[in-house]
Amino acid sequence: MRRIVSIIILIIIAVGFIFAFSKIPFGKDKINVANYYIKKGIKQTGAVNIVTSVVLNYRGFDTLGEVTVLFIAAVGLGAVLFVERKIQKNMDDKEDKTKRASLILRTGSRLLFPLILLFGAYIFVHGHLTPGGGFQGGAIIASGFLLMYLAFPKQRINKKTSGLAESLSGLIFVGIGLLGLVFSGYFLTNFLPKGIPNTLFSAGIIPIIYIAIGFKVGFELTGIIDDLLERSR
């Protein structure tokens, strides 16, 4: 019964989709506001990756919000899965001490871990030049940590340090925004010199923010995995 009703409803919605999509032709040039970004982006922001300049400059506020969302998720997850330290300790003691990953995994991940971190860092530092940026780099860093968790289930990151790094990088983001407010009267203005496009030290505040985001995302995703692994048994 529920199935039938659901399918009928979904068919109706599908009809709605068809109507709506038929008005948005696929692959046609519908670019309107974005023309401005494409034409003036490099000059105004100094970043050759227009997506990055949109993400961090024209729509930087969205990104701030997005970082906040991730932050909320990390904090909220910590709050929901929170266990008093005493109980936590008891749980840890009960756990099987002999659980270990295989040798190949351990050695391999020891070898890979620095490389993954380096790759992640490369991605977010070059966010304004090549595809990629803080989010992607942060996710890659987090997957490096994930690998380490798989290899060494007993090892944990230092929650305090990672928490501090999270909040510091968040503060850097907001702080740069506020500095923009101070220097040019608008929040999140790209107030630094733009430099020569297509070089590493260009695009004003974009690399700085992307580095902050990279750290933040990396630590937050790691923290989420850590919380999930550790706290909730």
How buried is residue 140: exposed, middle or buried, by Cβ count under 10 Å (0-12/13-18/19+)? buried
Decide if residue 197 touches other proteins (CB under 8 A). yes
| Nearest-approach distance from CB 100 to other proteins, in angstroms | 17
Provide CB contacts within 8 A for 100, sequence distance 6+: 106, 153
Q: Are 87 and 176 in contact (CB under 8 A)?
A: no
Query: Which residue stretch of 91-99, 103-111, 139-147 sits at the interface with other proteins (rule: CB under 8 A)?
Result: 139-147
Decide if residue 180 touches other proteins (CB under 8 A). yes
Decide if residue 33 touches other proteins (CB under 8 A). yes
Q: Are 165 and 214 in contact (CB under 8 A)?
A: no
Output the six-digit token pair for 126: 């070059």
Candidate residues 106, 113, 195, 198; the one interacting with other proteins per rule CB under 8 A: 198
Decide if residue 37 touches other proteins (CB under 8 A). yes
Q: Binding string to other proteins for residues 51 to 70, with x set by CB under 8 A, is what?
A: xx-xx-xxxxxxxxxx-xxx
The Cα 175–Cα 181 span in angstroms is 10
| Nearest-approach distance from CB 108 to other proteins, in angstroms | 17
Output the six-digit token pair for 219: 């630590």
| Nearest-approach distance from CB 62 to other proteins, in angstroms | 5
The Cα 128–Cα 232 span in angstroms is 39
Decide if residue 186 touches other proteins (CB under 8 A). yes
Decide if residue 151 touches other proteins (CB under 8 A). no
Decide if residue 212 touches other proteins (CB under 8 A). no
Decide if residue 179 touches other proteins (CB under 8 A). no
The Cα 108–Cα 114 span in angstroms is 11
| Nearest-approach distance from CB 193 to other proteins, in angstroms | 15
